[in-house]
Amino acid sequence: MTYNIHPLFVHFPIAFLVVYSVIKFLPVEKWITSISWRPIQRLLLVVGVLGAFVSNTTGEMAEHLVKADHDLVEMHAFFAGASTWIYGILLMGEILFLLNRYFVTKNIQTPINKILISIEKIINQNILSKTLALFGLIAISITGLLGGVIVYGVSADPIAPFVLRLLGL
């Protein structure tokens, strides 16, 4: 007997990545100055993105177990992948930030380091990182809504019929 373990894993990355986006948008650094928010954001991103990869994998397995509308499942998978990529890019910016600081302190300068520093500065620009976090939040919200429609049907969420019409489903 095969079990659908996707629901066991999917909620954690959603929670971590939604909290990351909220912290990214709201001026929490100004509200609560006694906390260093960047390490918290990094932790939320690492755990959230790793959990998203696990959720995507278990989602592929669940796709073969659950007999749902094919177009709905494919759209759910698309938005799950999009949100994983968006948050993955944000995580890459944080990883490059840490790597670049390591190379700078070790005084290692190569053409590759200059490229990595440029990429990190682009990704971590305040406007771009907030825009990516917003798009990630939208994508992960649509993913969750479509997952809810797959499991509970259209009547479980009052916004679902509108979103489904918008997506052409």
Judged against a pLDDT cut of 80, whether residue 124 lies above it is answered with yes
Q: What is the mean pLDDT of residues 12-20?
A: 94
Tokens of 136: 């990630």
Strand intervals (E) in 18-158: none
Give domain status of residue 71, yes or no.
Answer: yes
What total number of domains does the chain contain? 1
* Pick from 10, 8, 35: nearest CA to 23: 35
Question: 10 near 59, Cβ under 8 Å?
Answer: yes
Specify if 166 maps to a domain.
no
The confidence band for 20, taking pLDDT boundaries of 50, 70 and 90, is very high
Provide the angle, in degrees to the nearest 10, between the axes of the packed helices 6-25 and 126-152. Answer: 150
Best-predicted range by mean pLDDT (20-29, 66-75, 99-108): 20-29
Write down the pTM of the prediction: 0.88
Answer whether residue 33 is part of any domain.
yes
Q: Is residue 12, in this structure, part of any structural domain at all?
A: yes
Q: Is the pLDDT of residue 39 over 80?
A: yes
24 within some domain = yes
In a domain, residue 42? The reply is yes
Q: Is the pLDDT of residue 25 over 60?
A: yes
Name the residue with higher pLDDT: 42 or 99: 42
Measured torsion, CA atoms of residues 30, 11, 158, 141, in degrees rounded to the nearest 10 = 50
Structural domain of 58: 7-141
- Structural domain contains residue 147: no
Taking all residues of the chain, what is their mean pLDDT, rounded to a whole number? 88
Mean per-residue pLDDT, 121-138: 93
Evaluate whether residue 85 is within a structural domain. Answer: yes
Is the model's pLDDT at 65 over the cut of 50?
Answer: yes
| % residues pLDDT > 70 (the chain) | 98
**Encoding tokens for residue 157?**
């969420």
Question: What is residue 1's predicted lDDT score, i.e. its pLDDT?
Answer: 46
Q: What is the pLDDT of residue 18?
A: 96
